[in-house]
Amino acid sequence: MVGIDIFAGAGGMSLGAQWAGIKMLAAIEADQHAAKTYKMNHRDIVVINSKIEDIDSVDFQWTEELILFGGPPCQGFSTSNQRTRTPQNECNWLYQEYVRVCRMLEPDWIVLENVKGILETEGGAFLRRIIAAFKRLGYKTDTWVLNAADFGIPQVRTRLFVVGAKKHPLPKAPISPNSGRVTVREALADLPVLHNGSNTCSRAYRCDPQSPFAEAMRNGLKTSCNHLVTRSADHIIERYEKIPSGGNWEDIPRRLMRTYTDIDRCHTGIYRRLEWDKPSVVIGNFRKNMLIHPSQNRGLSVREAARLQSFPDSFRFTGSIGFQQQQVGNAVPPLLAAAVFRQLIKA
């Protein structure tokens, strides 16, 4: 089976596809920084740095069964963006480009990934449109809602997958191996101690791997990259100091939150300190949400966030720290993608 990844980002789904045994043909990604990261880590794959709307043909050939996969931008369906969960958000309609490319390539299999919030946006109307569009192209579809934490990923992150096939029976959704959830401690304890604003990319590990997960992510490496931390102002660090394990902005004294015009409208997800002995909360826009290290008074490093997404330490992110953070936060956890693709290969 061969694959083409559209809306590819840095390549989380492609990495999972390769782990499952799929040979990647090409990836399409509009953002130049994400496309550069993809190419650095997938050197043998054709990377097309272009808007999907501008793609009207492809120059490569294949003889094996083709799987087309990708995740159209999901901000318009996210439950954290209530003001944009409407038909007026242009991003909500990019699934039509996925359908157009599907019509052009006629793949044997399709996998469309998005946030669970698409089930709720406009009463589920967008998801019904997506399924109807694939049906008109001759695809049977099923919808899977999977939690990354159930598949060996140290993060509670629920994602939706629309899986479709033309000729084959649809597989059942993957089942959790029930091997226990990976905690933040098991994921991060061997990574180096960092300071606020740390900007030394490559560093040695703090200690030996503290879990099978960390050992797998390191895979024998002695050093790793992307140990970059946003420099937070002193008053932000003062707020961090007040937040206990598992706490959030509500633990910060009101006198330290005077810069907020309406503090009572703060989202519960901001200023969240991760807990050592539980999986992480969602790693989305972790800089904007100001997710806090479990024991150090600083934000998460790019590498720490990548670990919580199940990117191996050999995977390098490029661009400024802001672009790296965006690439990590937007990605589909590779281990979750691998679980999905293995079900298709079984079928």
Over residues 13-33, mean pLDDT = 97
| Catalytic residue annotation | 74
The answer to whether 68 touches 109, Cβ cutoff 8 Å, is yes
Question: Phi and psi at residue 275, in whole multiples of 5°?
Answer: -105, 135
Residue 147's closest CA among 336, 344, 346? 336
Indicate if the pLDDT at residue 263 is higher than 50: yes
Residue 274's closest CA among 265, 283, 285, 262? 283
Confidence of residue 150 (pLDDT cuts 50, 70, 90): very high
pLDDT digits 0-9 by tens, 291-331: 999 999 999 999 999 999 999 999 999 999 999 999 999 99
The answer to whether 155 touches 149, Cβ cutoff 8 Å, is yes
pLDDT at 161: 97
Indicate if the pLDDT at residue 165 is higher than 80: yes
Domain boundaries, the chain: 2-174+332-346
Tokens of 73: 């931008």
* pTM for this prediction: 0.92
Which of 36-40, 79-83, 113-117, 267-271 is modeled with the greatest confidence? Answer: 36-40
Q: What percent of the chain has pLDDT over 90?
A: 79
| 73 or 209, higher pLDDT | 209
pLDDT at 36: 98
CATH number, domain 2-174+332-346: 3.40.50.150
The answer to whether 87 touches 127, Cβ cutoff 8 Å, is no
Instruction: Please calculate the CA angle 141-145-149 and round it to the nearest 5 degrees.
Output: 145
Over residues 171-181, mean pLDDT = 90
Q: What percent of the chain has pLDDT over 70?
A: 92
Indicate if the pLDDT at residue 79 is higher than 60: no
pLDDT mean across residues, the chain: 91
pLDDT at 82: 47
Indicate if the pLDDT at residue 204 is higher than 70: yes
Over residues 184-200, mean pLDDT = 97
pLDDT at 81: 47
pLDDT at 91: 53
